[in-house]
Amino acid sequence: MHQTDGETSSLTSAYAFELPEELIAQHPAPVRDASRLMVVRGASIEHKIFRDLPNVMRAGDVLVLNETRVIAARLFGKRVQTGGSAEILLLHPASGLRYDAHSTRWTALVRPARRLREGAVVSFGDLGCAVVEEVQADGVRVLRFEIAMPFESFLEKAGRLPLPPYIRNDSDEAQRRYQTVFARTPGSVAAPTASLHFTPEVFAALDAVGVERVHLTLDVGLGTFRPMKGERLEEHAMHAESYDIPASTAEAIRSAKRSGRRVIAAGTTVVRALEGNAAEHGEIVAGEGSTSIFIRPGFTFRVVDAMITNFHLPQSTLLVLVSAFAGRETILHAYREAVTHSYRFFSFGDAMFLTGRAGSHPKDAS
């Protein structure tokens, strides 16, 4: 039976693409703003360098950045009962989604899961230990940390930033570069990777153009990156992520929308925070909240007019999000172009500047 484009767009398989393994970036660009930038405006594609971004932006644009800081959420220890190795990936405090530097009870993923049942203890030597208190759905554990120092100090000594599994490079340089230059508020277990390209020099050039910069915080969780396993998009459930939108940011965005100026999201995490907030309240409202929004084709964008984003994994919710924004065929065509031109993919890869579908954001059609 013939399927319409709308029906096709709801299939997980519609978001697959061929990607040579050598294009998965294992190292960041030598200089942050020397990464490449593909500018996609409808059918138009231009190839630039990220430091050219100010030439793509306009006076009066509002650029929204996620100033979250990645925590050292990957911990390695020894199982007290057997002496075998154990790995812990912290997700968020057991008491809620927001980061809490004083919490000693955390939800986490563990390896080997079959060996770390309720009551198991993981030792970190002189730094203390973690006790498995509860086994939850999807393999999540609740851990109680028994340590004799502030939790942040413990993480600094025992933890590493949790680089994605497709990056086989855990060097100190990779650790340093998996953090934005403006990261301020700790709480994420993955970086807002579209912002890894920014430098003070790019910000200075954006200021000179007349771009207004504002910030929010969304604590990036692993749920955003979990693969879709069902045949159809609606079968996938997103995990919630917490966010905080300052009053000054909310007012800047509302002012921009009133005056017809563009709101540009630096990354899909900013898109999720803004559109999740607007979907709940009808417009951008300041304050803390959480969102489990799954942006897929048919979604009405209320806030974001353009976005900066990296190249995403096949059949991922992030690829679905950018497809909902710019059109699936537009995105898949751009990805084929990226492969042809040897762009670098995923967290340490290159970037896109992407405008919304023609008609949704008429000012971006030029």
List per-residue pLDDT tens for the chain, 366 residues long.
333 455 678 999 999 999 999 999 999 999 999 999 999 999 999 999 999 999 999 999 999 999 999 999 999 999 999 999 999 999 999 999 999 999 999 999 999 999 999 999 999 999 999 999 999 988 899 999 999 999 999 999 999 999 999 999 999 999 999 999 999 999 999 999 999 999 999 999 999 999 999 999 999 997 766 778 889 999 988 889 999 999 999 999 999 999 999 999 999 999 999 999 999 999 999 999 999 999 999 999 999 999 999 999 999 999 999 999 999 999 999 999 999 999 999 999 999 999 998 434 433 332
Secondary structure of the chain: what % helix, strand, coil (to 5)? 35, 25, 40
Helices 317-326 and 268-281, axial angle in degrees (round to 10): 70
φ, ψ at 246 (rounded to 5°): -65, 155
Q: Say if residues 54 and 202 touch (Cβ distance below 8 Å).
A: yes
Alpha carbon distance 352, 338 (integer Å): 10
Handedness of CA 83, 107, 224, 246 (dihedral sign): negative
Domain boundaries, the chain: 5-70+175-364, 74-160
* CA contacts within 13 A on the Cβ side of 36: 17
CATH architecture label of 74-160:
Beta Barrel (2.40)
Output the pLDDT for position 273.
Answer: 98
Output the pLDDT for position 264.
Answer: 98
Output the pLDDT for position 7.
Answer: 61
Show the tokens assigned to 132: 């498995």
Angle at 204 between CA 200 and CA 208, to 5 degrees: 170
Output the pLDDT for position 3.
Answer: 39
What pTM, to 2 d.p., does this model score?
0.93
Angle at 156 between CA 152 and CA 158, to 5 degrees: 110
Alpha carbon distance 243, 223 (integer Å): 15
Alpha carbon distance 185, 242 (integer Å): 12
Q: Say if residues 28 and 181 touch (Cβ distance below 8 Å).
A: no
| Residue 224 DSSP class | G
Angle at 214 between CA 209 and CA 218, to 5 degrees: 140
CATH architecture label of 5-70+175-364:
3-Layer(aba) Sandwich (3.40)
Angle at 186 between CA 181 and CA 189, to 5 degrees: 90
Q: Say if residues 220 and 238 touch (Cβ distance below 8 Å).
A: no
| Residue 11 DSSP class | B
Amino acid at the residue 213? R
Please name which of 176, 205, 168 lies closest in space to residue 49, comparing C-alpha atoms: 205
Please name which of 66, 85, 41 lies closest in space to residue 355, comparing C-alpha atoms: 41
Angle at 361 between CA 284 and CA 320, to 5 degrees: 75
Q: Say if residues 142 and 179 touch (Cβ distance below 8 Å).
A: no
Amino acid at the residue 46? E
Amino acid at the residue 130? A
What is residue 101's three-state secondary structure? coil
State the alpha helices, DSSP H only, in the chain: 5-9, 53-56, 151-158, 172-177, 200-209, 247-259, 268-281, 317-326, 328-340
Alpha carbon distance 218, 288 (integer Å): 10
